[in-house]
Amino acid sequence: MKHVSALIFPETEPSLHTMAKLLIFFDSLSYYQPTESVSADNKDINFLADLCTSHVPAPLPAEELYRFNRLLREMETSRPDELARLFSAATAPQATGQTRDQDETSASRVYSTLQTDAETKTSNRHKELLWQARLILKLAEILDRREVEVRHGLTRVSSMEKKVFAVLDGRHEPDPDAPAPISSLGKPEQQPAEYIFPAEPTFGTSNQFIPLRIKAWAELFLADSVEQQSLILVTANQECGSTLLTGYENFRRREAAKLFSLSIPSLQFTGYHGAKYIENRKKFRKTFQANIKSLEQYLQKTADSVRKDSVNQDQLSELTANISSWEENLQGYFPIKAKNFSTLDFYSFPGISFAELFQKIFHPKPTVPAKNQQDRSAILAILTT
């Protein structure tokens, strides 16, 4: 691991805010796309395109992709309550012999590829799991976008109310604390000269489906054909991170190892293409180069180890010194008024890869072979804003 990179989960349309925060420490990021279809909103994901790449882990055949995209177009115009119903219905297929009611049968037809031929039962089971996983993740994208739009709409209404009351009170000056309007991708519609990323919005309705969303994402991870998958998974949702931590604890009967925590600042940018952010990030990482390099080496050694006690005391002392140096330099690098820092927590799962962990959590009888990572320890990073 020459430079630290990470795979974002379970979001398949990560927000600008999340990526910009994570790229303060990580050299690069990647994220999954459920299918080759890319929504119009996501094509110009922003100025971070060179630092954050997307990947389709389980491409669909052309015929199935056409059917899938047609279904998505229908869902885009569905009512919120209908989306929630489809989301709930998109569960793993029931075992043979179990019955389904009329609604479940109707809902499952749109993504069921199961055939009756006994010789292809296992293959079809795998296809059905992946089909459902893609559907769940696309439904999650739709729900996220709609909730962000509602949240930003309420923000705009609140801002307009403040202006009206200001006029009634005889004050014509705009409120300097009023937030700038934000698009559904997290980009300011009218950016001020120096813009600090707003607080990351929390999931609303879609938060109720996090366990299902993680399971769907895990299906894509297990089906990923990339030989060397990312050893670090990162999320900006604490519940998502807790799900993996709890899954490891239940399986291994011990807690994951807490490695360290870092304070992560917000960097400003100017202009639509974020030239200021890129410049500030480059300057920041150059200043903290020694700290970042040392922490990268520590994470590499941890990932290569299979025992909890494989890091010696000297390495722990060096880690402590680097964390202290990072925090002290951070306090001097930013003025007191700009201390809107987030926290990036790192955890290790000694002796198990994410592929193995997902198999244990979601497939007591494996349906997809685990990748060749048995001699690696997975690392999880959780961003808390």
> What is the tens place of the pLDDT at every residue in 188-210?
444 333 334 444 444 544 556 88
**Whether residue 327 has pLDDT greater than 50:** yes
> pTM here?
0.75
Identify the pLDDT of residue 17.
83
Give the integer Cα–Cα distance in Å for 155 and 180. Answer: 9
Identify the pLDDT of residue 101.
47
Q: Which residues, in sequence order, are CB contacts of 115 under 8 Å at separation 6+?
A: 124
Identify the pLDDT of residue 375.
60
Residue 334 in domain: no
Residue 329 in domain: no
Q: Residue 265 has what DSSP assignment?
A: -
Residue 40 in domain: yes
Which among 181, 183, 184, 192 has a CA at the least distance from the CA of 269?
192
Identify the pLDDT of residue 91.
47
Average pLDDT over every residue of 239-257: 92
**Are 260 and 317 in contact, with CB atoms under 8 Å apart?**
no
Residue 44 in domain: yes
**Whether residue 14 has pLDDT greater than 50:** yes
- Provide the CB-side half-sphere exposure for 348 (13 A, CA): 22
More confident residue, 200 or 379: 379
Which of these ranges, 72-86, 140-154, 292-306, 307-321, has the smallest mean pLDDT? Answer: 72-86
Average pLDDT over every residue of 355-383: 76
pLDDT tens figures, 33-43: 988 865 444 44
Split into its structural domains, the chain has a count of 1
181 confidence band (pLDDT: 50, 70, 90): very low
More confident residue, 343 or 195: 343
Residue 245 in domain: no
Which of these ranges, 45-54, 223-232, 331-340, 341-350, has the smallest mean pLDDT? Answer: 331-340
Give the integer Cα–Cα distance in Å for 116 and 124. Answer: 9
More confident residue, 333 or 126: 333
Residue 242 in domain: no
Identify the pLDDT of residue 112.
52
**Are 52 and 19 in contact, with CB atoms under 8 Å apart?**
yes
Residue 175 in domain: no
Q: Which domain holds residue 212?
A: 5-162+182-237+251-320+339-346+354-375
Residue 89 in domain: yes
pLDDT tens figures, 55-64: 898 888 888 8
Identify the pLDDT of residue 93.
42
For helices 210-223 and 238-252, the axis angle rounded to 10 degrees is: 70
89 confidence band (pLDDT: 50, 70, 90): low
Q: Would you state the torsion angle of the CA atoms of residues 242, 243, 244, 248, taken in this order, to the nearest 10 degrees? A: 100
pLDDT tens figures, 100-139: 444 444 444 544 544 455 445 666 777 888 888 898 898 8
98 confidence band (pLDDT: 50, 70, 90): very low
